[in-house]
Structure formats: C-alpha cells, structure tokens
A and B are shown apart, each in its own frame.
Chain A
C-alpha cells in the first residue's frame, strides 16, 4: 500500500499538532490553565468535549489516506489501485463493500422497488427481491427478523457495557480528582460505547440506516461525511485566524492609516451578503478547476482541492467579525498601564504586540473559534444545497440531504437518509454549541461577572 497525503490531510495533522502544542503550553502555565479547569469541572462541557473528540477521531482516521496495492502483475511489478482509501474505509470495509441495487429501508431484508424475479420452475413473478447483504443470513426473514435484531443488539449492548466497566475499573483512581466532572466523562463514554457496540453488532448483518439510491449503506455515508463537516469547521479557522489576528490587532494597536485601511476592508467585505460572496468565489474556483485539469491527478485530489478552496473562501469571508472584536479589544489594552510602561522602556512594537497585547486578547480568539465551528458545519449543508459547496462526488451531510430531499415525494417515503444526516449532524452541532457556551462562560470575563 502507498500512503497518500492530500492537502487537507496535511493541514488537519498540522492542526492536531498545533492543538497538542497548545494543550502543553496551557498545562505549563497556571494562569492559562485556570479557566480550563473551570471547564473541566462542568459536566456539560466534559460530555460535549468527549462527543467532539469522538467525531474528531473519526475525522482523523478518515484522513489517513492510502492507495491499496493491486495483485502484482505478470512480471512481479507492484501496482496501486487508482482510488484513494482511508484507514476508516478499511475499518468499515464490511459496510462499504455491501452494495445493494437501490434503496432499502433500515433493517429491511427486501429491496425498496419491485423487480421481476425468476423462480426455480422458470416462472416469473413481480415482487420485492431479497437484499444481497441486508439480513441475508436469515432463512425466513419475515418471521425471525425482530428476534435476530434484538439478540444481536443485546449482545452488542452487553459487550459495550463490559468494555465500559473495564474502563471504569482502569480509570477509577485517576478520575477521582477535585474539580473534574469525571461522572459526566464516564456516562458519555458509556453512551458512545453502547451506540458503537450496538451498531457494530448490527451493521455487518443489516443496513441499520438503510441504503441510498445507488444501494450504498447510509451509515457508511454518514460516517464518511463526518470528516467533511469537521474539516470545514476546523480548517476554515486556520485561514481565518492569521487574517483576523494580524489585521485586527495591528489596526487597533497602530491606529491611523492602518486602522482606516483595515476598517474599510472589513466594512466592504461585510457589506456583501456572505452567501453571495461565497457563491461568487466558488463559481470562479469551479471555472478555474475546470480550465486547469492539470492541477490534480485523481478524482479524490480534485475533490480535496475543492474542499481546500472552499475552506479558504469561507475563511476569507469569515475573518471580519473576529477582526472587528480584536481591534476593539486592542484599542482598550494598548492604553493600559503595563503597555504604556513597556513603550516607555523602549520595548519594540513587535515585542509589545507579542508579549503584552496578544496574550491579553487571546480569550477572544479562542471563544470565537469554538463559537464559529458549529456555524460552519451548518453552513456546509446550506452551501451544498445552493450548489457551491463541496464536490458533488464527496460524501458530506449537505450532499446527503441534497440527494435525499426529492425522495420525500416518493411513496412510500424514503426518509432514512435524511434521518441519518439529521442525527449525526444534530449530535455534532449540539456538542459544538454546548462546548462553545461553556468555553465562553469560562473565558469571557464579562459573563463570569454575571454568574
């Protein structure tokens, strides 16, 4: 197998490394760690963080890309498959490879559409054919389905609870600390483990969330969509932060012409409705990609490039809000005594910005990053609907919703694709919103005074 590092993979690893560095930095400084300790004592924040970490883990697993080796050719040379796979694909291989012909409902054993079936005695009948994979192990599907599902789910549940109990035993001593919502951590883990256990027990034998139009397992599509959502939320901040911090802080600190220029820039950008600016930029990006087919080799690289550009565009349109906040805060901080003193001592501007201004506005940056995340995940779905989102061939919540919404007109209704996208998106965004609230309460001195 040949490892492949797509652009977004590299950036997501960079982001994870940066986050790890940040955690180490916070850990070493007491004044930085104090607000995070308050967050760790909040059960809601801990539960939300655990859920977010689980989603991030799936996204990171899905970012370890490789091209599988094909069976060696006649002369023993090594060849690689053209399509790019990820570690998550490998884990979910039993899900990904079990394609049906078209739609099938969750836990169905028969196809959604009627077909002509040739019976043993060469006569034909129009009926719903058995699925190739979903419930294929059952001899009499209509009778034994409910018991089989219940038994398998129970087995998964028991395994999950057992794994959780082991985990509790292992972590018991370490979690019993002051000011840490250990209980919330354990119960969230229990919920996650039970969900994963039951799904893992059922998914190899049934299509838990049904199958989509081309017969692909919807659970697989949902799990793959997580990477797209998390990536858009996370990578966009990578673009936003340098712009917002650089322009916002220097506008507030230096004032004068620089301030005028930065203010003009963000007022102008703000004046354009966000969606239209994004749509315009994405349209142009599409034309550029279409007229430069030499930029990418495989379809995955093209989709990846498009995702990267989308994050870039979202970042370019998103930095204005944070820049305005940072400018205002810097205006306040730069008049404080310690900054005046530093200037009187002849400390250079760069050093004042780095050592005195930035540390005192960093809470605004952090709050805005976590607050923006959920909005960006939601924006992806809307943009995909408008037609300016990620590549149509890429699995994402927006594309899932987009593909499923017209099927509500069918009879009987094809609801499972929407239900799956709704569930996964709701959990991700809810966790992000709750975590963001707790971070804001802990870091924002204004809201602390209120409480």
Chain B
C-alpha cells in the first residue's frame, strides 16, 4: 500500500509539471508580461517606462527561461519560470494585483468554500443514490416513468436558474435565509443552508440519472437473479446487494464530480456573496488578475490528483477484492 501510494505520488509529478508548463506557456509566452502591463495600464496612451515599472513591481522584468546575465545558479533561478511558475510547487503563489499574498488569501478563503462544497457533495450523493434506488424499486411502473421524465426535465434547466430562482424564492420572497453574506463559526449555518439546498436540488437531475444507469447495469447481473431466486425481498436485494456492488462505480463517479463541484461553487459563491475560493476566482477573472487565475489553475490540478488518489484508496474500503500494489 505504501509503495502504491508512493508510486501514485510520483506519477503526479509529471502531470503537475505539465500543468505548470501549460500555465507558464499561456500566461507568460502567449500573453507576454508586456501585454499584461498594457492591458492594466490601458491599451492606448501608455509609455514604455510605465510598462517597465509595472513589470518591475511584480518581478516580471526577468528573462523568461534563461538569465544570461546572472552568474552560476542564478542563470536558472533569476527567471520568471523559476520565480513565478516552479515556485507554485512550494505553494508560493506570489502577490495579487492588489498586493495581497495569494497563498494567505487561499488559506482563509478555503473554509467558507468547504462549508458549502462538502455538505453539497455528501448530501447530494445520498439524495441522488436514494432517488436512483427508489426509481429502481418501482421498476416498470408509472412511478419510474414519471420520475425519469422529471429527472430529464430537471437536468435540462440551466444551473443558473436554480440559483436565481432559489435565491429569489427563499431569500427574497419568503425571507427564510439572508440574501447574501457569510459569518464565521456556528452562524455560518444560517448562510450556508440555502446554497447547499440549491446545489443538491440542481444536481439531482443529472446525478440520479447517472446512478440509475449504474444500478440498472448491476441489476441485470446473475447474482441479483440468484438473490431474488432464493426469496430475498426487493428492498433487501436493492440495498444489500445492488448498492454494495455499485459502490466502486459510485466512487469513481463521485470523483468525476469533484472538479464540477469546484465549478458549481464558483457561481454559487458569487451569487450568495460568500468569501470563498470560487468568488475569489470570479473576481480575479473579472479584474483580469492573471496571478490569481494561474494559482487557482494549479491548485485545482493538485486537488484533482489528490481526489484521484483518495478514490483509489477508498476502493479498498468498499471492496475487499481490491488490493493496491
């Protein structure tokens, strides 16, 4: 197991290096620091001196890859690539355009994000699986048919409408929750429950349908027929046999949702004014703060890979046949 973990971690290095190189190419070679400076200082009426000053203030005045003027190791370290791209491996993201430390911001902003993303993920997973199992329980009846129709209709509605509609109804008309804002600690629940509810409801359409296909495939297998033949009740077949055997694909699917969770909370946070990573990213995109976007791309990749490794580990918990070597 330790050897397996070590190998997976080593695999992650080239991938992260690739992500790093990609962001470097996009943000420094395609779009040179000069372009960035011109964009921030205004495209027209900008002097070369102002551009140089802007670059110097951010350390973008170094050469891209090789510094011919520096001596010794400085040839490699006194470059944009080393200072701004490779440094991300040490989670040193540098300063944003407003001068604040990005890594520090991320550390404080991750908690509100987690307060929304985690409950949405866990509750959503349970609701989706339950709905899918109920539909399977009522197989070949009108309940199943109308349920599937409802799910297809629900997944055809843009996520934006769930957020706009939910916020309007619950927060504005019925005044059950604050329209936006966030507080630390126990008070957070007051602000968090509505985004979580909306996130769960908005995800049921696609989620429950996906689990339904999984369970349908599982339900066609021989062991299910055997279980029924030996006289087990339908509920027992569903919850003890099909659900248990469906755990591996469920977990795989859960990780596939992981990046989507990130994206969903991006919009949710900015609608509800929650000071998390999602709203941070949106603000950065709107202000064209490339340093923050670069940091978030890298962080997202790290999270994705961590999620993949965690999935593999969780396989061993739900399926004793899986051995990680």
Contact = CB atoms under 8 A, between A and B. Distances in A.
Contact of B152 (A272, A274, A277, A434): A434
Contact of A290 (B30, B39, B285, B290): B39
B267 A385 contact: yes
Contacts of A274: 259, 263
A324 to B, nearest CB: 12
Given A429-B156, A450-B216, A271 B267 contact: no
Nearest to A275: B263
B158 A284 contact: no
B300 A273 contact: yes
B150 to A, nearest CB: 12
A167 interface: no
A270 B300 CA distance: 10
Interface in B186-232: 216-217, 220
Interface in B149-208: 152-153, 155-161, 164, 168, 172
Given A271-B301, A277-B297, A284-B31, A408 B15 contact: no
A264 B285 contact: no
A430 B155 CA distance: 8
A270 B256 CA distance: 10
A405 B164 contact: yes
Q: Which of A273, A429, A450 has the most CB of B within 10 A?
A: A273
B175 to A, nearest CB: 14
Nearest to A402: B160
A268 interface: yes
Contact of B300 (A272, A283, A388, A434): A272
Interface in A399-419: 401, 405, 408-409, 418
A148 interface: no
B247 interface: no
A288 interface: yes
A190 interface: no
B300 to A, nearest CB: 4
Nearest to A432: B156
B43 interface: yes
Contacts of A239: none
A409 B167 CA distance: 11
Nearest to B286: A387
A382 B39 contact: no
Given A401-B160, A405-B164, A272 B301 contact: yes
A147 interface: no
Interface string A260-296: 0000100110111111110111011011101100000
B300 A287 contact: no
A418 B168 CA distance: 12
Interface in B27-85: 27, 30-31, 35-36, 38-39, 43
Contacts of B220: 450
B297 A276 contact: yes
B293 A408 contact: no
A44 B14 CA distance: 47
Interface stretch (B18-26, B101-109, B236-244): B18-26
Nearest to A415: B168
Interface string B123-157: 00000000000000000000000000000110111
B281 interface: yes
Interface residues of A, number: 44
Given A264-B14, A272-B301, A291-B38, A381 B160 contact: yes
A358 interface: no
Interface string B253-285: 000000100110011000000000000011001
Nearest to B294: A280
B19 A271 contact: yes
B293 A426 contact: no
Contacts of B159: 378, 382
A437 interface: yes
A418 B160 CA distance: 10
B304 interface: yes
B117 interface: no
B269 to A, nearest CB: 12
A276 B304 contact: no
B96 interface: no
Given A276-B297, A374-B156, A382-B267, A291 B35 contact: yes
B266 A386 contact: yes
B305 interface: yes
A276 B168 contact: no
Interface of A: 264, 267-268, 270-277, 279-281, 283-284, 286-288, 290-291, 374, 378, 381-382, 385-388, 397, 401, 405, 408-409, 418, 422, 425-426, 429-430, 433-434, 437, 450
21 contacts: A264-B15, A264-B18, A271-B15, A272-B297, A272-B300, A273-B262, A275-B263, A275-B266, A276-B293, A276-B296, A277-B297, A287-B39, A290-B39, A291-B35, A291-B38, A385-B160, A386-B266, A408-B168, A426-B153, A433-B155, A433-B156
Given A288-B35, A430-B156, 12 more contacts: A264-B14, A264-B15, A270-B304, A271-B19, A273-B304, A274-B259, A279-B293, A290-B39, A382-B267, A386-B282, A405-B164, A422-B157
In order of increasing CB-CB distance, the 6 nearest A-B pairs are A268-B18, A430-B156, A273-B300, A271-B301, A273-B259, A429-B156
